Amino acid sequence: MAGFVILITLALVALVWVLHFRAVKRAGLASTWPRTVGRVTRSEVIEEEDTDSYGDRSSAYISKLAYEYEVGGRTYTGERVGLGATPRWSLRKKAEAVISRFPVGAQPQVIYNPDDPAEACLDAKKPGVGMPIFWTVVLLFLGFVFLGVWAE
């Protein structure tokens, strides 16, 4: 059983890093994509409430953006700031910091995929290593906990 726990833990850690390096590569590619001027049509913070199995409530805040841009005479609509997943914050001010950069009516540079102009973002910076390191530590910790539980 210990071998199985080790194998699963290492597989999950490897998956975290593969996904991270894939995102870094994608951001590198996106930095070479063409740009066009867009227009922000929506910029707001959405609050989502969640209740856990104990009945405790928590809130997550999401920056909701929409922008229009034109490529080759065709108008597209985008909603992504970056290329990764849309972040959810526990603090409203974090989500507000994003939308403050893109108020309705603003004309940001839109970075679009020349092979598929419907794929676009406003910021193509490479992701940092903070989250993969965090998840590596969490997964290794849980792996050791499970090893200790099954060793007894």
74 and 144 inside one domain: no
- Counted residue by residue, the chain has a size of 152
13 and 43 inside one domain: no
Model pLDDT for residues 36-73, shown as the tens digit of each residue: 999 999 999 999 998 878 888 889 999 999 999 999 99
104 and 132 inside one domain: no
41 and 16 inside one domain: no
pLDDT at 12 over 80: yes
Domain membership of residue 71 as a residue range? 33-123
Task: State how far the Cα of 122 lies from the Cα of 70, in Å rounded to an integer.
Answer: 14
87 and 118 inside one domain: yes
6 and 65 inside one domain: no
Q: How many domains does the chain have?
A: 2
Confidence of residue 24 (pLDDT cuts 50, 70, 90): confident
109 and 152 inside one domain: no
Confidence of residue 150 (pLDDT cuts 50, 70, 90): low
The three-class DSSP label of residue 26 is helix
Confidence of residue 149 (pLDDT cuts 50, 70, 90): low
pLDDT at 152 over 70: no
78 and 142 inside one domain: no
Which amino acid makes up residue 110? V
The two counts, helices (H) then strands (E), for the chain are 3, 5
23 and 93 inside one domain: no
- What share of the chain in percent tops pLDDT 70? 96
Give Cβ neighbours of residue 126 (< 8 Å, ≥ 6 apart): 23, 24, 27, 28
56 and 93 inside one domain: yes
Give Cβ neighbours of residue 136 (< 8 Å, ≥ 6 apart): 13, 16, 17
- Do the Cβ atoms of 21 and 148 come closer than 8 Å? no
Model pLDDT for residues 109-146, shown as the tens digit of each residue: 999 999 999 999 998 777 778 888 898 999 988 888 88
CATH number, domain at 42?
A: 2.40.50
Q: Is the dihedral of CA 119, 120, 125, 131 positive or negative?
A: negative
Virtual torsion, Cα 92, 98, 100, 102, nearest 10 deg: -140
